[in-house]
Chain A
């Protein structure tokens, strides 16, 4: 897996129903993935959202990032898609 780094903030998604916003920011090398979640998903599916965000980022080779997400009951594919889009916007593939 090629290691990738975020170069700037990347945001994807909307506040619409069944959607979520994922905001990624660069983090110091070795600091790991720090996740903060707001919204309905916080209580009910918190662990699942954490897992998806972390897995998706690591699957792209991103080991260090600050993650902020707010969702309104998004399905898994939406969380994954928004995370990937935010990473691309954050310059991880440049």
Chain B
């Protein structure tokens, strides 16, 4: 399982913020050439990010991505030509409305990989839907490229496009979030949520992250390093969840030996959906390097 609990935006034209970007523990960093960069400095940012990708050590486990400008703009196309390189793991494409937007980026990345002698297909794509049209096309978009490993939602732009009001309960984009999760899961890829803009409101961030985790999202974007820890706390399974998952796995193994598809743990019936959830929790715990006790250790400890 590829962990993408947190995705930290780093302004692409601010040199002092780039070298430390890998130090905050985010699973993904996104060097931003789009909203964080004034139109007058698009070229400056593109060259800065390009040079940074050659030399800055973002950490071996950090997925390094760049948010390019919309592919409908000349900036977006120039971004791809300049930034494709060995250290680039992925590209976030903003303002995606149709499959053509993603396919165009896919083709351009392939061309640059070939031109620069890089491994073909290694650079992943992530499409961000931030208009009503994009959200309604999410199902097709999620399936349109083998490079796509996730789709995301752009909360601020989407709210504006819908004519709604951004509020703590997220009501304006609630259905859109559900559609993104549905489209992602149907395509077998990840769903990544939008940012929580008030970086000083940690309780609000926690509430929103808990909400989107319940909805099925795999991670959340962040605009400030201080948000990373809270997001990880919410997405990481608790020791109790891990312990229960270990028991479920053991119970299902025993059920299988008995030729049964269903077994009870305590007073709860455990069947295939519970098993799948347990497997996901254990995969998440392993990827996040959290302690996973054995069944025997749980029994000895009278564990939960």
Contacts and interface: CB of A to CB of B under 8 A. Distances in A.
B35 interface: no
A26 interface: no
Contacts of A80: 51
Nearest to B49: A81
Interface string A10-35: 00111011110000000000000000
Given A78-B51, A84-B47, A85-B43, 12 more contacts: A12-B44, A14-B41, A16-B15, A16-B16, A18-B15, A19-B16, A77-B52, A80-B51, A81-B52, A84-B51, A85-B47, A85-B48
Contacts of B56: 77
Contact of B15 (A19, A85, A88, A89): A19
Interface of A: 12-14, 16-19, 74-78, 80-82, 84-85, 88-89
18 contacts: A16-B14, A16-B15, A17-B16, A18-B15, A18-B16, A19-B16, A75-B19, A77-B15, A77-B51, A77-B54, A78-B15, A78-B48, A78-B51, A80-B51, A81-B48, A81-B50, A81-B52, A85-B44
Interface string B1-18: 000000000000111100
Contacts of A81: 44, 47-48, 50-52
Interface string B29-55: 000000000000101101110111011
A82 B51 CA distance: 10
Contacts of B55: 76-77
B15 A75 contact: yes
- Name the residue among A13, A17, A18, A85 with the largest chain B CB count within 10 angstroms: A85
Closest 5 CB pairs of A and B: A18-B16, A81-B51, A77-B51, A81-B48, A85-B47
Contacts of B47: 12, 81-82, 84-85, 88
A52 B33 CA distance: 25
- Name the residue among A12, A77, A89 with the largest chain B CB count within 10 angstroms: A77
Nearest to B48: A81
